[in-house]
Amino acid sequence: MAIKVLIVDDAMFMRNMIAEIFTGKKYGNEDFEVVAEAENGLEAVERFKEHKPDIVTMDIVMPEMTGIEALKEIMALDPSANVVMCSALGQDSLVMEALDSGAKDFIVKPFQPGKVLDVVTRILDSAGKG
């Protein structure tokens, strides 16, 4: 059964780039299925409830509700949720807050596909879902 992925970012091109890493011909494989996307934290929480993904990639800075606020709501819904924060360089304090709030790890923009897949695979393996 495919690993269900929820991609959260306010920029469509970033969502597309992450989806390509998971499912595209160049990097991805059939082990991953992008089940939903969200462009802000409010949508992220709703999509999480609907799809119960195995892994969530979450941008930190978004309109409506930040990634950290959405992370906190998701962790309240499911303390075992696997959320990976996506940050730009220079967001160290926000990354630390996210990790303290339950994020499993973070990846830095611009993304290196191999690094994204390594981080996600390690998290899923440690959660017994790999």
How does residue 130 score in pLDDT terms, banded at 50, 70 and 90?
A: low
89 with 111: CB under 8 angstroms? no
Segment 54-64, tens digit of pLDDT: 999 999 999 89
With 90 as the cut, is the pLDDT of residue 109 above it?
A: no
**Dihedral-angle region of residue 55 (phi above 0 means left; psi in -120 to 50 means alpha; beta otherwise):** beta
* CB proximity list for 17: less than 8 A, separation 6 or greater: 111
pLDDT of residue 95: 83
pTM over 0.75: yes
How does residue 28 score in pLDDT terms, banded at 50, 70 and 90?
A: low
* Domain boundary assignment for the chain: 3-126
Range name among 19-23, 37-41, 73-77 with the lowest pLDDT average: 19-23
- CA–CA separation, 66 vs 46, rounded Å? 14
Domain 3-126 has CATH 3.40.50.2300: yes
